[in-house]
């Protein structure tokens, strides 16, 4: 009987919503929109030293992001010596693979990259609920049919967390930022062996 | 008016191209090849700075990186990027050794034929001994900058990554001063060598991490 109670507790805890698990306190939603402007300046070339770890394989190189026009981004990953690894276009709701080396030409990976960059390039999202902790204000939004939490600290976006069934599935961490420039960021997947680290150069 | 326009177009577009680039004739090709063969047979080491420009059609400015190159005959090559990041690669026989900002790794090139081809391209272009490669269709030009050789890939697999490859040689000492790798999309990587020193003594320790 004791085991049954314990198991039930475990089930209840694991089913608890993300805000409950994190003991987040819901507050009134005054900001109806949350903005992510890290890749919003079409005048800028966003160039990063990148490292991508995928299923035990390490790929190093440069990642170049350019906002060509509103809702139009280009992402190119090259080796340090300049050879292209992938080249992707995000135009409106369309996603186009301009180039990818055959070793990485896998549907699962491409779908994941498509989703990751779409989130990074989403400049505005509608806030469904707002929570706070001692230092942070957290905004719950729905993007691409998934549940996301935008974590802010003193009005700076520090994290975007994708949550499914109460669990963190993916974390975008903006480690170092200066105004609207993300100087260092990491995208870590919890259910897919993929981590992307970017440091601005 | 039409004549004025025609003259305008010609003077700004066609004439400079004619002046800058001229196809070599058979005798010139033979002399040039001999000059490069002589230079490479007497070159035991090369030490050079380089600037790499990565041109992408959607960027207004190329991405510029800086570094140094060391070559020791017959087949040791080290590329070291120093700015804006630290990254070195050593081509040593069938191994490619990488030091990525302190993270060291090695790649066995025997496992990848394509990789081996790409590394041979780099070693041979530094040596200037690419002409015998069967994988390329070559054409030779005299330009203002130097003697230029264009290599067009014949290998189907390599073609997916590099459609053509250009080397510019110094007219005086017949060493490579510029490398350009052109991708199928038209984007390209250009490497310009500066402060070149030939046959200075290079310690073997340079070619290990």
The pLDDT of residue B150: 93
Q: pLDDT (tens digit, 9 = 90+) per residue, A9-26?
A: 444 445 678 888 888 899
The pLDDT of residue B9: 40
Interchain CB distance below 8 Å, A83 and B161: yes
Higher pLDDT, A2 or B208: B208
Instruction: Chain A: give the shortest CA distance to residue B52, in Å.
Output: 8
For chain A, say whether B189 makes contact (Cβ under 8 Å): yes
Q: pLDDT (tens digit, 9 = 90+) per residue, A108-134?
A: 999 999 999 999 999 999 999 999 999
CATH of the domain at B97: 2.50.20.10
The pLDDT of residue B154: 86
Domain at A17-200: CATH code:
2.50.20
Yes or no: say if B151 and B137 are a contact pair by the CB < 8 Å rule: yes
Rounded to two decimals, the pTM is 0.86
For chain B, say whether A83 makes contact (Cβ under 8 Å): yes
Number of domains in chain B: 1
> What value, to the nearest 5°, has the Cα angle with vertex B90 and ends A198 and B162?
70
Instruction: Give A5's pLDDT tier (boundaries 50, 70, 90).
Output: low
The pLDDT of residue B160: 85
Domain that holds residue B135: 28-207
The pLDDT of residue A161: 97
What is the pLDDT averaged over residues A139-153? 94
To which residue do tokens 């066609």 refer?
B14
- Residue in B129, B154, B149 with CA at minimum distance from that of residue B139: B149
Q: How does pLDDT run along chain B (209 residues), one tens digit per residue?
A: 444 444 444 444 444 444 578 999 999 999 998 898 888 888 899 999 999 999 999 999 999 999 999 999 888 889 999 999 999 999 887 788 999 888 888 877 766 666 666 667 666 766 666 666 677 899 999 999 999 999 998 888 888 888 998 999 999 988 889 999 999 999 999 999 999 999 999 998 999 98
DSSP state of B12: I
Yes or no: say if B57 and B182 are a contact pair by the CB < 8 Å rule: no
For chain A, say whether B80 makes contact (Cβ under 8 Å): no
For chain B, say whether A201 makes contact (Cβ under 8 Å): yes
Nearest to B56 among A76, A101, A102 (CB): A76
* Lowest pLDDT segment from A14-23, A35-44, A80-89, A116-125: A14-23
Nearest to A201 among B85, B98, B183 (CB): B85
Yes or no: say if B43 and B57 are a contact pair by the CB < 8 Å rule: no
Yes or no: say if B78 and B183 are a contact pair by the CB < 8 Å rule: no
Residue A68 pLDDT more than 80?
A: yes
B15 assigned to some structural domain = no
Interchain CB distance below 8 Å, A74 and B85: no
Nearest to B63 among A51, A64, A98 (CB): A64
**Buried b / exposed e along B95-122 (16+ C-beta atoms within 10 A):** ebbbbbeeeeeeeebeeeebeebbbbbb
Share of chain A above pLDDT 90, in %: 73
The pLDDT of residue B118: 64
For chain B, say whether A53 makes contact (Cβ under 8 Å): no
Rounded to whole angstroms, how far apart are CA atoms A175 and A195?
A: 14
Residues of B in contact with A103 (CB under 8 A): none
């Amino acid at each position: 009987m004791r085991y049954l109670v314990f198991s039930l507790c475990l089930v209840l805890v694991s089913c608890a919503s993300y805000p409950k698990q994190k003991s987040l306190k819901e507050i009134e939603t005054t900001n109806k929109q949350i903005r992510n402007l890290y890749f919003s300046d079409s005048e800028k070339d966003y160039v990063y030293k990148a490292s991508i770890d995928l299923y035990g394989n390490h790929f190093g190189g440069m990642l170049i992001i350019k906002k060509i026009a509103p809702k139009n981004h280009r992402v190119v990953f090259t080796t340090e010596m300049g050879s292209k690894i992938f080249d992707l276009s995000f135009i409106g709701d369309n996603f186009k693979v301009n180039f990818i080396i055959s070793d990485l030409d896998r549907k699962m990976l491409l779908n994941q990259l498509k989703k990751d960059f779409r989130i990074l390039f989403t400049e505005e999202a509608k806030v469904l609920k707002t929570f706070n902790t001692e230092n942070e204000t957290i905004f719950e939004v729905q993007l691409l049919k998934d549940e996301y939490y935008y974590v802010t600290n003193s009005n700076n976006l520090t994290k975007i967390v994708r949550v499914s069934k109460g669990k963190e599935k993916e974390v975008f961490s903006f480690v170092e930022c200066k105004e609207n420039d993300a100087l260092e960021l990491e995208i870590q997947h919890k259910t897919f062996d993929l981590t992307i680290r970017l440091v601005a150069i | 008016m039409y004549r004025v326009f025609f003259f305008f177009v010609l003077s700004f577009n066609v004439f400079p191209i004619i002046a800058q680039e001229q196809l070599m004739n058979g005798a010139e090709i033979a002399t040039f090849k001999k000059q490069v063969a002589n230079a490479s047979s007497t070159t035991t080491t090369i030490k050079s700075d380089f600037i790499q420009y990565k041109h992408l059609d959607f960027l207004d400015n190329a991405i510029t990186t800086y570094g140094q190159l060391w070559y020791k005959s017959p087949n040791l090559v080290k590329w070291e990027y120093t700015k804006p990041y630290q990254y070195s690669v050593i081509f040593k026989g069938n191994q490619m050794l990488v030091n990525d900002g302190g993270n060291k790794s090695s790649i066995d090139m025997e496992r990848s034929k394509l990789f081996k081809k790409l590394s041979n391209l780099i070693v041979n272009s530094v040596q200037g001994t690419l002409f015998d490669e069967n994988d390329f269709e070559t054409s030779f030009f005299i330009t203002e900058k130097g003697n230029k050789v264009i290599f067009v890939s014949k290998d189907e697999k390599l073609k997916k990554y590099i459609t053509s490859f250009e080397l510019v040689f110094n007219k005086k000492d017949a060493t490579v001063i510029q490398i350009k790798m052109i991708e199928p999309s038209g984007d390209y990587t250009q490497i310009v060598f500066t402060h070149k020193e030939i046959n200075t003594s290079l310690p073997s320790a340079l070619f290990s991490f």
